[in-house]
Amino acid sequence: MNTLAEENYLKCIYHLSADAGIVSTNQIAASLNTKASSVTDMLKKLADKVLINYTRYQGVSLTPAGEKIAVGIIRKHRLWEYFLVEKLNFKWDQVHDMAEEMEHISSEELIDRLDEFMGHPKHDPHGDPIPDCNGKFKSAELKPLSTLTVNQCGVISGVRDHSSPFLQYLEKQQLTIGKTITITDIIEYDHSVALKLEANKEIHISREVANNLLIAL
Amino acid sequence: MNTLAEENYLKCIYHLSADAGIVSTNQIAASLNTKASSVTDMLKKLADKVLINYTRYQGVSLTPAGEKIAVGIIRKHRLWEYFLVEKLNFKWDQVHDMAEEMEHISSEELIDRLDEFMGHPKHDPHGDPIPDCNGKFKSAELKPLSTLTVNQCGVISGVRDHSSPFLQYLEKQQLTIGKTITITDIIEYDHSVALKLEANKEIHISREVANNLLIAL
DNA sequence: TAAAAAATTTAGACTAATCTAAAATATGGA
DNA sequence: TCCATATTTTAGATTAGTCTAAATTTTTTA
């Protein structure tokens, strides 16, 4: 079908274009830890396969065919993450690298059966939505915690940073998916945030943490 | 660690040396559907890494390090096959190609947790023994059904041919792992075998089938 | 709006894994 | 034991993906 490298480029372009629409060569190079010249080579190949729209110097976007492949890989990634956490008892900060390998197992039937085995979960352990077998999914309207105001209340529903250190920090602070929080104070000076957890526990987080925590109102 | 190709060569050499001890370049080429010259190149690389014992024109065997890697891959393959059949309800003739991909997922912790999740199974769906996390396993003393004599009785415990058509045929004849059979007749003319299944059902199989069915006495 | 800076592409080279064709070595039968 | 045949290795080429360095194009800014 497609090579490992091709799949990784498509997935990367998909994620980057969520923010930007059109994605630049340098963005891809930075995201994949490779060089811009390598990216250019691959873009030509993907354009030949009609998986991306590409004109020299003008950046790229996915074609419908390319997007379909990317979403399929993301579906696999998130289902395997769910499996690793729910069935094999891994922590949410341990599963990313394993899922990064498992997302390239090719069988569609395998992933559909895995989906069924787990009861068609709607979200992965980090709160990201899992596309269904047709690639459909709706991403909830989430806002960074940093955009809330005092007394606003919401449910932790996602993260913008998937790194282990960040996830471990959240775990320690009990700031995990599904928890309800209420903003009690916002410090003008450094934009840090004080908030109340369910058991009335008060905690205080930096602006950066608040920026990377996504809340459903 | 090691590349996909290296892992496949090591696994292949492991399987071939079960019969022969020392394995020839041509045997490997035939088994991997590649050319002898490609095999020679890879053998040099594996010898440099001290994963095989290799002298030009003299065939190869695995070093302890090479065998350890091969057994690790086989452990993964068989555990994933067990998972696919027991948890995702695939048939025993459907799982080989998927496991062929999954055996290269690198995490040791993943495979150990999978092993635990499934209750440390001792055999895969085809009756092959699953090495434990130290690479230890004992293969039962199995004999091809074709070597039994009239009135001998035993339990179907393995197959020598893992191809879908053979496994599907066995399934249809209810000749599956764990079934007890008794030889009722051996036809001199073509060495075909008549046998009795548990429910006193009588069936008749060719010499070739009898050769590929492994029995524990 | 033109020069400087940044981004991108091209050119040429490298590695891993493969191939074909030719050369070298081993083996088995007369 | 020697030759024909089979097996294996070498030589040289190819493809995918990557790299560095140089050239080109775009963007910024003065």
Domains annotated for chain B, with CATH where assigned, are 4-62 (1.10.10.10), 143-216 (2.30.30.90)
- C1'-nearest nucleotide to the CA of A30: C7
Mean of per-residue pLDDT scores for chain A: 96
pLDDT given at position A139: 87
Q: What is the mean pLDDT of residues A30-39?
A: 98
Residue B108 Cβ < 7 Å to strand C: no
* Residues on chain A bordering chain B, Cβ-to-Cβ distance under 8 angstroms: 84, 87-90, 97-98, 101-102, 104-107, 110, 113-114, 117
pLDDT given at position A106: 97
Q: Which residues of A touch B102 (CB under 8 A)?
A: 102, 105
Mutate to test the interface with A, among B80, B103, B107, B117 (most CBs of A within 10 A): B107
What CA–CA distance (Å, rounded) separates B77 from A58? 45
Q: Check whether A178 has a pLDDT greater than 90.
A: yes
Point out the residue among A89, A102, A113 whose CB comes nearest to the CB of B88.
Answer: A113
pLDDT given at position B134: 97
Pairing of strands B60-62, A213-216: unpaired
Q: Which residues of B touch A113 (CB under 8 A)?
A: 88-90
Q: Check whether A69 has a pLDDT greater than 80.
A: yes
Low-confidence residues in chain B, pLDDT < 50: none
Point out the residue among B90, B107, B117 whose CB comes nearest to the CB of A87.
Answer: B117
Q: Which residues of B touch A104 (CB under 8 A)?
A: 101
Q: Cβ separation of B110 and A89 shorter than 8 Å?
A: no
pLDDT given at position B140: 85
Q: Are B202 and B195 in contact (CB under 8 A)?
A: yes
DSSP element (H, E) containing A194:
strand A193-196
Q: Cβ separation of A89 and B113 shorter than 8 Å?
A: yes
Burial class, B3, CB count within 10 angstroms (exposed 0-12 / middle 13-18 / buried 19+): exposed
pLDDT band at A109 (very low <50, low <70, confident <90, very high): very high
Find and give the residue nearest to C21, measured CA to C1'.
Answer: B37
pLDDT given at position B199: 83
Q: What is the mean pLDDT of residues A24-48?
A: 97
pLDDT given at position B1: 81
pLDDT given at position A200: 86
Point out the residue among B84, B105, B113 whose CB comes nearest to the CB of A88.
Answer: B113
pLDDT given at position B21: 85
pLDDT given at position A21: 86
Chain D bases near protein CB atoms (7 A cut-off): 7-12, 16-22, 25-26
Residue A41 or residue B140, greater confidence: A41
Pairing of strands A202-205, B143-144: unpaired
- C1'-nearest nucleotide to the CA of B43: D9
Q: Cβ separation of B88 and A110 shorter than 8 Å?
A: yes
Question: What residue in A sits closest to B83 (Cα-Cα)?
Answer: A114
Find and give the residue nearest to C7, measured CA to C1'.
Answer: A26
Q: Check whether A140 has a pLDDT greater than 90.
A: no
CA distance A3 to chain B (A): 13
pLDDT, one tens digit per residue, over A182-202 is 999 999 999 999 999 988 899
Point out the residue among A98, A107, A114 whose CB comes nearest to the CB of B110.
Answer: A98
- C1'-nearest nucleotide to the CA of A57: C8
Q: Are A120 and A78 in contact (CB under 8 A)?
A: no
Q: What is the mean pLDDT of residues A117-128?
A: 98
What is the percent of chain A where pLDDT is above 70?
A: 100
- C1'-nearest nucleotide to the CA of A2: D16
pLDDT given at position A19: 76
Amino acid B143 reads K
